[in-house]
Chain A
Amino acid sequence: MKRIKILWLLTAFILLINFIVYKTVSGNLLLYISDFLPALCSFVATYGMYLAFKGFKSYDFVKVAWLLLLIGTFFDFLAESIYGILEVVFSVDMNNTFPSIADLFWCGSYIAYFLGLIMLFNGYRESGFPLGNMKMFALLSLLFTLFCVTVIYFLLIPIIQDGETSTLSKFFYLYYPIGDIATVSLSAILLYFISQFGKGLITMPWKMLALGFFFFSVSDLLYSYFGWNDTYGSGNLIDMGWHLGYLLVGIAGLYQRELVDSVKERSSL
Protein backbone atom coordinates (compact mmCIF):
# COMPACT_ATOMS: atom_id res chain seq x y z
CA MET A 1 0.00 0.00 0.00
CA LYS A 2 3.00 2.26 0.55
CA ARG A 3 3.83 2.26 -3.17
CA ILE A 4 0.27 3.27 -4.03
CA LYS A 5 0.35 6.17 -1.56
CA ILE A 6 3.65 7.38 -3.01
CA LEU A 7 2.24 7.21 -6.55
CA TRP A 8 -0.88 9.15 -5.53
CA LEU A 9 1.36 11.85 -4.03
CA LEU A 10 3.54 11.82 -7.15
CA THR A 11 0.41 12.19 -9.31
CA ALA A 12 -0.73 15.24 -7.35
CA PHE A 13 2.79 16.71 -7.46
CA ILE A 14 3.21 16.18 -11.22
CA LEU A 15 -0.19 17.70 -12.02
CA LEU A 16 0.55 20.71 -9.80
CA ILE A 17 3.93 21.25 -11.42
CA ASN A 18 2.31 20.71 -14.82
CA PHE A 19 -0.27 23.43 -14.17
CA ILE A 20 2.22 25.94 -12.73
CA VAL A 21 4.76 25.42 -15.51
CA TYR A 22 2.19 25.63 -18.30
CA LYS A 23 0.84 28.88 -16.86
CA THR A 24 4.15 30.58 -16.13
CA VAL A 25 6.84 29.25 -18.48
CA SER A 26 7.24 29.88 -22.20
CA GLY A 27 9.72 29.31 -25.03
CA ASN A 28 12.12 26.39 -25.17
CA LEU A 29 11.79 25.51 -21.49
CA LEU A 30 8.05 25.00 -21.97
CA LEU A 31 8.78 22.82 -24.99
CA TYR A 32 11.25 20.66 -23.04
CA ILE A 33 8.90 20.22 -20.09
CA SER A 34 5.85 19.54 -22.27
CA ASP A 35 7.84 16.80 -24.01
CA PHE A 36 9.38 15.40 -20.83
CA LEU A 37 6.21 15.10 -18.72
CA PRO A 38 4.31 12.71 -21.04
CA ALA A 39 7.38 10.48 -21.30
CA LEU A 40 7.71 10.45 -17.50
CA CYS A 41 4.01 9.75 -16.92
CA SER A 42 3.88 6.98 -19.54
CA PHE A 43 6.97 5.44 -17.92
CA VAL A 44 5.12 5.41 -14.58
CA ALA A 45 2.14 3.75 -16.32
CA THR A 46 4.45 1.11 -17.79
CA TYR A 47 6.03 0.46 -14.38
CA GLY A 48 2.61 0.01 -12.75
CA MET A 49 1.44 -2.34 -15.48
CA TYR A 50 4.66 -4.33 -15.23
CA LEU A 51 4.14 -4.86 -11.49
CA ALA A 52 0.54 -5.97 -12.13
CA PHE A 53 1.67 -8.37 -14.85
CA LYS A 54 4.41 -9.86 -12.64
CA GLY A 55 1.87 -10.43 -9.86
CA PHE A 56 0.20 -13.23 -11.86
CA LYS A 57 2.09 -16.51 -11.91
CA SER A 58 0.40 -18.71 -14.54
CA TYR A 59 -0.08 -17.58 -18.12
CA ASP A 60 -3.88 -17.62 -17.97
CA PHE A 61 -6.10 -15.22 -19.93
CA VAL A 62 -5.94 -12.64 -17.12
CA LYS A 63 -2.15 -12.47 -17.27
CA VAL A 64 -2.32 -12.16 -21.06
CA ALA A 65 -4.88 -9.34 -20.72
CA TRP A 66 -2.57 -7.44 -18.35
CA LEU A 67 0.38 -8.21 -20.64
CA LEU A 68 -1.49 -6.53 -23.51
CA LEU A 69 -2.17 -3.51 -21.30
CA LEU A 70 1.55 -3.48 -20.40
CA ILE A 71 2.47 -3.58 -24.11
CA GLY A 72 0.05 -0.70 -24.70
CA THR A 73 1.67 1.48 -22.04
CA PHE A 74 5.16 0.56 -23.25
CA PHE A 75 4.23 1.57 -26.81
CA ASP A 76 2.89 4.85 -25.42
CA PHE A 77 6.17 5.39 -23.56
CA LEU A 78 8.13 4.74 -26.76
CA ALA A 79 5.86 7.07 -28.73
CA GLU A 80 6.13 9.88 -26.15
CA SER A 81 9.92 9.47 -25.97
CA ILE A 82 10.34 9.43 -29.76
CA TYR A 83 8.09 12.48 -30.09
CA GLY A 84 10.13 14.39 -27.49
CA ILE A 85 13.48 13.36 -28.99
CA LEU A 86 12.41 14.36 -32.49
CA GLU A 87 11.20 17.73 -31.26
CA VAL A 88 13.91 18.59 -28.72
CA VAL A 89 17.04 16.84 -30.03
CA PHE A 90 16.42 16.92 -33.79
CA SER A 91 14.43 20.19 -33.77
CA VAL A 92 11.67 18.68 -35.91
CA ASP A 93 8.53 20.84 -36.10
CA MET A 94 6.13 18.20 -34.81
CA ASN A 95 3.07 20.41 -35.34
CA ASN A 96 3.71 20.11 -39.07
CA THR A 97 5.05 16.55 -39.11
CA PHE A 98 2.12 14.18 -39.20
CA PRO A 99 2.20 11.25 -39.12
CA SER A 100 5.59 10.64 -37.51
CA ILE A 101 7.19 7.39 -36.38
CA ALA A 102 5.77 8.09 -32.91
CA ASP A 103 2.26 7.74 -34.37
CA LEU A 104 2.98 4.13 -35.32
CA PHE A 105 3.59 3.29 -31.65
CA TRP A 106 0.55 5.25 -30.48
CA CYS A 107 -1.58 3.36 -33.00
CA GLY A 108 -0.06 0.08 -31.82
CA SER A 109 -0.90 0.94 -28.21
CA TYR A 110 -4.60 1.31 -29.07
CA ILE A 111 -4.68 -2.20 -30.52
CA ALA A 112 -3.00 -3.62 -27.41
CA TYR A 113 -5.34 -1.71 -25.06
CA PHE A 114 -8.40 -2.75 -27.04
CA LEU A 115 -7.45 -6.44 -27.02
CA GLY A 116 -6.59 -6.33 -23.30
CA LEU A 117 -9.88 -4.66 -22.40
CA ILE A 118 -11.85 -7.06 -24.62
CA MET A 119 -10.25 -9.99 -22.79
CA LEU A 120 -11.23 -8.54 -19.41
CA PHE A 121 -14.74 -7.84 -20.73
CA ASN A 122 -15.16 -11.41 -22.01
CA GLY A 123 -13.66 -12.78 -18.82
CA TYR A 124 -16.26 -10.92 -16.79
CA ARG A 125 -19.09 -12.07 -19.05
CA GLU A 126 -18.10 -15.68 -18.48
CA SER A 127 -17.25 -15.28 -14.79
CA GLY A 128 -20.73 -15.89 -13.44
CA PHE A 129 -20.72 -12.56 -11.62
CA PRO A 130 -23.92 -10.51 -12.09
CA LEU A 131 -23.91 -8.50 -15.32
CA GLY A 132 -26.13 -5.72 -13.99
CA ASN A 133 -29.54 -4.50 -14.97
CA MET A 134 -30.88 -3.76 -18.43
CA LYS A 135 -31.89 -0.19 -17.55
CA MET A 136 -28.28 0.73 -16.93
CA PHE A 137 -27.21 -0.89 -20.20
CA ALA A 138 -29.91 1.08 -22.02
CA LEU A 139 -28.63 4.30 -20.44
CA LEU A 140 -25.02 3.42 -21.32
CA SER A 141 -26.09 2.67 -24.91
CA LEU A 142 -27.82 6.04 -25.13
CA LEU A 143 -24.73 7.85 -23.81
CA PHE A 144 -22.55 5.85 -26.20
CA THR A 145 -24.73 6.91 -29.15
CA LEU A 146 -24.60 10.57 -28.11
CA PHE A 147 -20.83 10.36 -27.68
CA CYS A 148 -20.39 8.75 -31.11
CA VAL A 149 -22.67 11.27 -32.83
CA THR A 150 -20.70 14.18 -31.28
CA VAL A 151 -17.34 12.74 -32.34
CA ILE A 152 -18.57 11.84 -35.83
CA TYR A 153 -20.20 15.25 -36.41
CA PHE A 154 -17.43 17.48 -35.04
CA LEU A 155 -14.39 15.42 -35.94
CA LEU A 156 -14.77 12.53 -38.34
CA ILE A 157 -16.99 14.15 -41.00
CA PRO A 158 -14.77 17.26 -41.36
CA ILE A 159 -11.70 15.01 -41.68
CA ILE A 160 -13.34 12.75 -44.29
CA GLN A 161 -14.64 15.71 -46.30
CA ASP A 162 -11.29 17.55 -46.34
CA GLY A 163 -9.85 17.49 -49.84
CA GLU A 164 -6.38 18.86 -49.05
CA THR A 165 -5.24 16.19 -46.58
CA SER A 166 -3.41 13.12 -47.88
CA THR A 167 -4.98 9.69 -47.48
CA LEU A 168 -2.21 8.60 -45.10
CA SER A 169 -2.75 11.60 -42.82
CA LYS A 170 -6.51 11.09 -42.98
CA PHE A 171 -6.07 7.51 -41.89
CA PHE A 172 -4.16 8.58 -38.76
CA TYR A 173 -6.48 11.50 -38.06
CA LEU A 174 -9.45 9.11 -38.15
CA TYR A 175 -7.69 6.28 -36.33
CA TYR A 176 -7.26 8.16 -33.04
CA PRO A 177 -10.88 9.25 -32.46
CA ILE A 178 -12.19 5.82 -33.45
CA GLY A 179 -9.65 4.20 -31.11
CA ASP A 180 -10.73 6.58 -28.35
CA ILE A 181 -14.39 5.71 -28.83
CA ALA A 182 -13.61 2.00 -28.60
CA THR A 183 -11.38 2.39 -25.53
CA VAL A 184 -13.74 4.69 -23.64
CA SER A 185 -16.75 2.49 -24.38
CA LEU A 186 -15.08 -0.68 -23.13
CA SER A 187 -13.74 1.15 -20.08
CA ALA A 188 -17.22 2.49 -19.26
CA ILE A 189 -18.68 -1.03 -19.38
CA LEU A 190 -15.90 -2.40 -17.16
CA LEU A 191 -16.45 0.51 -14.77
CA TYR A 192 -20.14 -0.35 -14.59
CA PHE A 193 -19.41 -4.05 -13.98
CA ILE A 194 -16.98 -3.28 -11.18
CA SER A 195 -19.21 -0.62 -9.60
CA GLN A 196 -21.56 -3.47 -8.64
CA PHE A 197 -18.88 -4.68 -6.21
CA GLY A 198 -19.27 -1.53 -4.09
CA LYS A 199 -16.04 -0.28 -2.54
CA GLY A 200 -12.91 -2.20 -1.66
CA LEU A 201 -9.53 -3.15 -3.04
CA ILE A 202 -10.95 -5.49 -5.70
CA THR A 203 -12.69 -2.58 -7.43
CA MET A 204 -9.71 -0.24 -7.56
CA PRO A 205 -7.66 -1.68 -10.48
CA TRP A 206 -10.55 -1.57 -12.94
CA LYS A 207 -11.84 1.75 -11.62
CA MET A 208 -8.45 3.42 -12.02
CA LEU A 209 -7.92 1.77 -15.40
CA ALA A 210 -11.28 2.99 -16.68
CA LEU A 211 -10.76 6.51 -15.31
CA GLY A 212 -7.25 6.58 -16.76
CA PHE A 213 -8.50 5.68 -20.24
CA PHE A 214 -11.37 8.14 -19.86
CA PHE A 215 -9.06 11.10 -19.14
CA PHE A 216 -6.63 9.93 -21.78
CA SER A 217 -9.32 9.64 -24.46
CA VAL A 218 -10.98 12.96 -23.62
CA SER A 219 -7.63 14.72 -24.00
CA ASP A 220 -6.98 12.80 -27.19
CA LEU A 221 -10.32 13.80 -28.70
CA LEU A 222 -9.79 17.44 -27.73
CA TYR A 223 -6.29 17.26 -29.19
CA SER A 224 -7.65 15.78 -32.43
CA TYR A 225 -10.25 18.57 -32.63
CA PHE A 226 -7.83 21.43 -31.85
CA GLY A 227 -5.03 19.85 -33.86
CA TRP A 228 -7.31 19.56 -36.86
CA ASN A 229 -8.20 23.24 -36.49
CA ASP A 230 -4.52 24.21 -35.98
CA THR A 231 -5.16 25.65 -32.53
CA TYR A 232 -3.04 23.25 -30.49
CA GLY A 233 0.50 24.12 -29.40
CA SER A 234 3.07 23.09 -26.77
CA GLY A 235 1.97 23.81 -23.23
CA ASN A 236 -1.76 23.34 -23.79
CA LEU A 237 -3.61 22.33 -20.62
CA ILE A 238 -5.19 19.45 -22.56
CA ASP A 239 -1.90 17.67 -21.82
CA MET A 240 -2.91 17.36 -18.16
CA GLY A 241 -5.61 14.87 -19.16
CA TRP A 242 -3.00 12.65 -20.81
CA HIS A 243 -0.68 12.90 -17.82
CA LEU A 244 -3.47 12.12 -15.37
CA GLY A 245 -4.62 9.26 -17.61
CA TYR A 246 -1.16 7.70 -17.70
CA LEU A 247 -0.69 8.09 -13.94
CA LEU A 248 -4.09 6.56 -13.17
CA VAL A 249 -3.25 3.58 -15.39
CA GLY A 250 -0.01 3.21 -13.41
CA ILE A 251 -1.97 3.40 -10.15
CA ALA A 252 -4.36 0.73 -11.51
CA GLY A 253 -1.38 -1.57 -11.99
CA LEU A 254 -0.20 -1.02 -8.42
CA TYR A 255 -3.69 -1.70 -7.04
CA GLN A 256 -3.90 -4.93 -9.07
CA ARG A 257 -0.56 -6.08 -7.63
CA GLU A 258 -1.68 -5.12 -4.12
CA LEU A 259 -4.90 -7.13 -4.58
CA VAL A 260 -3.07 -10.26 -5.74
CA ASP A 261 -0.46 -9.99 -2.98
CA SER A 262 -3.04 -9.38 -0.26
CA VAL A 263 -5.09 -12.46 -1.23
CA LYS A 264 -1.89 -14.52 -1.36
CA GLU A 265 -0.96 -13.42 2.15
CA ARG A 266 -4.47 -14.03 3.48
CA SER A 267 -4.65 -17.49 1.92
CA SER A 268 -1.27 -18.53 3.33
CA LEU A 269 -2.31 -17.69 6.91
Chain B
Amino acid sequence: MNTYNNLYAQRIYEIISPIIGELMAKGSIRAQCKSLGITENTIEHKDIPALSERLRKGLVLFLGTENANMVASKILKL
Protein backbone atom coordinates (compact mmCIF):
# COMPACT_ATOMS: atom_id res chain seq x y z
CA MET B 1 0.00 0.00 0.00
CA ASN B 2 1.33 3.44 -0.92
CA THR B 3 1.81 5.95 1.89
CA TYR B 4 3.31 8.69 -0.26
CA ASN B 5 2.65 9.98 -3.76
CA ASN B 6 6.33 10.79 -4.11
CA LEU B 7 8.27 7.74 -5.29
CA TYR B 8 11.44 8.53 -3.29
CA ALA B 9 9.53 9.18 -0.09
CA GLN B 10 7.71 5.88 -0.57
CA ARG B 11 10.92 3.92 -1.17
CA ILE B 12 12.69 5.49 1.81
CA TYR B 13 9.63 4.71 3.92
CA GLU B 14 9.73 1.09 2.75
CA ILE B 15 13.40 0.81 3.74
CA ILE B 16 13.23 2.35 7.20
CA SER B 17 9.73 1.52 8.45
CA PRO B 18 10.49 -2.19 9.10
CA ILE B 19 13.32 -1.00 11.37
CA ILE B 20 11.98 2.03 13.21
CA GLY B 21 8.25 1.45 12.79
CA GLU B 22 5.69 3.14 10.56
CA LEU B 23 4.99 5.99 12.95
CA MET B 24 8.58 7.11 13.40
CA ALA B 25 9.45 6.44 9.75
CA LYS B 26 6.84 9.00 8.72
CA GLY B 27 7.91 11.38 11.50
CA SER B 28 11.59 11.21 10.68
CA ILE B 29 11.10 11.53 6.90
CA ARG B 30 8.95 14.60 7.56
CA ALA B 31 11.47 16.07 10.03
CA GLN B 32 14.50 15.46 7.80
CA CYS B 33 12.73 16.83 4.73
CA LYS B 34 11.83 19.93 6.72
CA SER B 35 15.44 20.40 7.77
CA LEU B 36 16.40 20.31 4.08
CA GLY B 37 13.72 22.86 3.21
CA ILE B 38 11.59 20.40 1.23
CA THR B 39 8.48 18.29 1.90
CA GLU B 40 7.83 14.56 1.55
CA ASN B 41 5.99 15.26 -1.69
CA THR B 42 8.79 17.25 -3.30
CA ILE B 43 11.77 14.92 -2.78
CA GLU B 44 13.92 14.75 -5.90
CA HIS B 45 16.83 12.50 -6.80
CA LYS B 46 19.33 15.25 -5.92
CA ASP B 47 17.98 15.31 -2.33
CA ILE B 48 18.70 11.63 -1.71
CA PRO B 49 22.38 11.92 -0.57
CA ALA B 50 21.54 14.59 2.02
CA LEU B 51 18.45 12.71 3.19
CA SER B 52 20.26 9.39 3.52
CA GLU B 53 23.05 11.06 5.52
CA ARG B 54 20.59 12.68 7.92
CA LEU B 55 18.63 9.47 8.39
CA ARG B 56 21.89 7.58 8.90
CA LYS B 57 22.90 9.87 11.75
CA GLY B 58 19.61 9.15 13.50
CA LEU B 59 19.80 5.40 12.99
CA VAL B 60 23.33 5.18 14.44
CA LEU B 61 21.83 5.75 17.87
CA PHE B 62 19.86 2.53 17.75
CA LEU B 63 21.74 0.33 15.31
CA GLY B 64 25.40 1.36 15.54
CA THR B 65 27.51 2.79 12.73
CA GLU B 66 27.77 -0.34 10.51
CA ASN B 67 24.07 -1.08 10.39
CA ALA B 68 23.14 2.57 9.97
CA ASN B 69 25.61 2.80 7.07
CA MET B 70 24.06 -0.28 5.44
CA VAL B 71 20.57 1.20 5.65
CA ALA B 72 21.81 4.58 4.39
CA SER B 73 23.55 2.93 1.43
CA LYS B 74 20.25 1.30 0.44
CA ILE B 75 18.64 4.74 0.42
CA LEU B 76 21.57 6.17 -1.50
CA LYS B 77 21.06 3.61 -4.27
CA LEU B 78 17.54 4.89 -5.02
Interface residues of A (CB under 8 A from B): 55-58, 60, 62-63, 120, 123-124, 126-130, 196-200, 202-203, 205, 259-260, 263-264, 266-268
Contact B31 A130, beta carbon cutoff 8 Å: yes
Instruction: For B60, list chain A residues within 8 Å (CB).
Output: 60, 62, 123, 127
Q: State in angstroms the CA–CA spacing of A197 and B66 once bound together.
A: 22
Residues of B near A267 (CB, < 8 A) are: 67, 70-71, 74
Q: Is the CB of B58 within 8 A of A127?
A: yes
The number of A-B residue pairs with CB atoms under 8 Å apart is: 86
Q: Which residues of B contact A260 (CB under 8 A)?
A: 63-64, 67
Contacts of A58 on B, CB cut-off 8 Å?
64-66
A–B complex contacts, Cβ < 8 Å, 16 sampled? A120-B61, A128-B28, A128-B54, A129-B58, A197-B21, A197-B24, A198-B21, A200-B21, A202-B19, A202-B20, A202-B24, A203-B21, A260-B67, A263-B67, A267-B71, A267-B74
Write out, one digit per residue, whether chain B residues 15-33 have a CB within 8 A of any chain A CB (1) or not (0). 0001111111001100110
Q: A55-B64, A56-B64, A202-B19 are in contact. Are A127 and B71 (CB under 8 A)?
A: no
Chain A residues with CB under 8 A of B19: 202, 263, 266
B31 near A129 with CB under 8 A, answer yes
Q: Contacts A203-B21, A263-B70 hold; do A128 and B64 have CB atoms under 8 A apart?
A: no
CA distance A65 to B25 in the complex (A): 24
Complex: chain B residue closest to A123, CB-CB: B61
Given contacts A128-B58, A196-B23, A198-B24, contact A57 B65 (CB under 8 A): yes
